């Protein structure tokens, strides 16, 4: 099988999406159906499916993503499986995330960078606790678009009444979520109804098939282009005598847009300069924007190191050593107040302690439960952290790139929590930069 021309079109827009839902709702089968029906399987993948079908007697599309032996034996997804495919309209990276409650932390990992989340639910069961849990996590993670796929419609005779009831139930629940764009699609992942092409069995459904929606959903405005943030990852100083004056700052643009010639502030020092050049590989660019990896050269000799940040002179982030955040605990050992952890934020690492656990979120009711002193595996709560050195951060709901962090255990180096910073109730004082003008 030859490579699709779409796979070679790097300029085609990329959509990252994740699949979520309860155990056995058909997430892996849905992704397999997307790949199979859109003719995105390579020869070796088709051969593997055919060999597995000869042994088991059935053509199991879920095997395309359930790669672990334990997953195939148990018939569930345990780890996050990433798959890439493309159509002439768009490229896709899909994360197949686990549905079992004990693997909720893996779902957080897979959905953390997604533009869109697909929530699968069984048409026979409707909206259940795990549906609410994953929908809340999608909202907490700031995913802008949600597609609710009501799967296994073939097992309820493609009933419009059942579809409508489930849609109404979810819409009632979703009023408490911070997701504005929610789309509903009735599907049968096993048989392919409304996955790549519209099904004749649902004449009452007037929307597009799932793939058609994924190809056309508008994501250009999802990235934060209003708040320019560039975290330095590496200082480029060539050793060649030819470039003895060369001093560039390499990294990925966290958010916003930077133009050659504009004034920027270096944080935390507060020194001001202008952008002399922006380079990407061997090309000079007039500007750069979110998610591009570039090297920025400044007109002045400014001392910057890894973790420092360039921002527009009249648009700076919060700067402080005490932050408020929503924390998703991802470790078997519970959160301990006052214990030291390593906090990793953008390109920075610093020691941190959790000073206060304000409340825990009841995932089923979304109610806040105060008076809790620990967070256990997969639990979510609002905390206050104290860091050894100040962070340069934004509210996660405004800027996912500079509002996210992880906590790491000092002894085991295991990631124990993922955090989403909230706007501080009392903003930290503005630093007094001697060369800073609003």
For the stretch 311-330, pLDDT in tens is: 998 899 999 999 999 999 98
Specify the CATH number for 318-422; select among 3.30.310.10, 2.40.30.10, 3.30.70.3420, 3.40.50.620.
Answer: 2.40.30.10
Q: What is the pTM of this model?
A: 0.82
pLDDT band at 7 (very low <50, low <70, confident <90, very high): very low
Share of the chain above pLDDT 90, in %: 54
Q: What pLDDT, on a 0 to 100 scale, did the predictor assign at position 47?
A: 62
Across the beta sheet with 91-96, what order do the strands follow? 81-86, 91-96, 14-21, 116-122, 145-151, 181-186
What are the start and end residues of each CATH 2.40.30.10 domain in the chain?
229-312, 318-422
Q: Chain-wide mean pLDDT for the chain?
A: 84
What are the start and end residues of each CATH 3.40.50.300 domain in the chain?
5-216
pLDDT band at 101 (very low <50, low <70, confident <90, very high): low
pLDDT band at 145 (very low <50, low <70, confident <90, very high): very high
Which overall architecture, per CATH, does domain 229-312 show?
A: Beta Barrel (2.40)
Tokens at 364, concatenated: 């089923």
Please give the average per-residue pLDDT across 122-149, as a whole number: 90
Q: What pLDDT, on a 0 to 100 scale, did the predictor assign at position 36?
A: 80
Q: What pLDDT, on a 0 to 100 scale, did the predictor assign at position 53?
A: 53
- Whether residue 109 is predicted with pLDDT greater than 70 in this model: the reply is yes
Share of the chain above pLDDT 70, in %: 82
- Whether residue 45 is predicted with pLDDT greater than 90 in this model: the reply is no
Q: What pLDDT, on a 0 to 100 scale, did the predictor assign at position 80?
A: 67
- Whether residue 255 is predicted with pLDDT greater than 90 in this model: the reply is yes
Please give the average per-residue pLDDT across 101-114, as a whole number: 69
pLDDT band at 29 (very low <50, low <70, confident <90, very high): confident
Please give the average per-residue pLDDT across 116-125, as a whole number: 93
Class of domain 5-216: alpha beta
């Amino acid at each position: 099988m030859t490579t699709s021309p779409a796979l070679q079109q790097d300029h085609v827009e990329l959509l990252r999406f994740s699949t979520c839902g309860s155990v056995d709702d058909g997430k892996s089968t849905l992704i397999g159906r997307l790949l199979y029906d859109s003719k995105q399987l390579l020869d070796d993948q088709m051969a593997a499916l055919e060999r597995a079908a000869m042994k088991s007697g059935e053509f199991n599309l879920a095997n395309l993503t359930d790669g672990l032996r334990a997953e195939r034996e148990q018939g569930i997804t345990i780890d996050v499986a990433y798959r890439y495919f493309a159509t002439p309209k768009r490229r896709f990276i899909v994360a197949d995330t686990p549905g079992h409650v004990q693997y909720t932390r893996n779902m957080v990992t897979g959905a953390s960078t997604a533009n869109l989340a697909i929530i699968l639910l069984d048409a026979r069961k409707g909206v259940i606790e795990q549906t609410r849990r994953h929908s809340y996590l999608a909202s907490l993670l700031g995913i802008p678009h949600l597609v609710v796929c009501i799967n296994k419609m073939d097992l309820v005779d493609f009933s419009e009444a059942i579809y409508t009831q489930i849609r109404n139930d979810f819409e009632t629940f979703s009023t408490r979520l911070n997701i504005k764009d929610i789309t509903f699609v009735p599907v049968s992942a096993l048989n392919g109804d409304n996955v790549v092409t519209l099904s004749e069995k649902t004449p009452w459904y007037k929307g597009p098939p799932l793939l058609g929606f994924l190809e056309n959903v508008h994501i250009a405005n999802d990235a934060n282009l209003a708040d320019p943030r560039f975290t330095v990852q590496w200082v480029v100083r060539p050793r060649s005598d030819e470039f003895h004056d060369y001093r560039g700052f390499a990294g990925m643009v966290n958010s916003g847009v930077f133009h050659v010639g504009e004034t920027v502030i270096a944080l935390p020092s507060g020194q001001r300069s202008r952008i002399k050049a922006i380079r990407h590989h061997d090309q000079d660019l007039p500007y750069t924007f979110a998610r591009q990896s570039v090297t920025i050269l400044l007109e002045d000799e400014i001392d910057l190191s890894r973790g420092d940040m360039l921002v527009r002179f009249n648009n700076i982030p919060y700067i402080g050593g005490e932050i408020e955040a929503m924390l998703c605990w991802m470790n078997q050992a519970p959160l301990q107040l006052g214990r030291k952890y390593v906090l990793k934020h953008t390109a920075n690492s610093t020691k941190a302690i959790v000073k206060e656990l304000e409340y825990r979120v009841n995932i089923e009711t979304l109610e806040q439960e105060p008076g809790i002193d620990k967070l256990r595996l997969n639990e979510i709560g609002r905390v206050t952290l104290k860091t050894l050195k100040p962070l340069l951060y934004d509210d996660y709901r405004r800027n996912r790139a500079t509002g996210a962090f992880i906590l790491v255990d000092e002894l085991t180096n295991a990631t124990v929590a993922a955090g989403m910073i909230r706007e501080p109730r009392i903003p930290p004082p503005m630093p007094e930069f001697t060369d800073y003008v609003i």
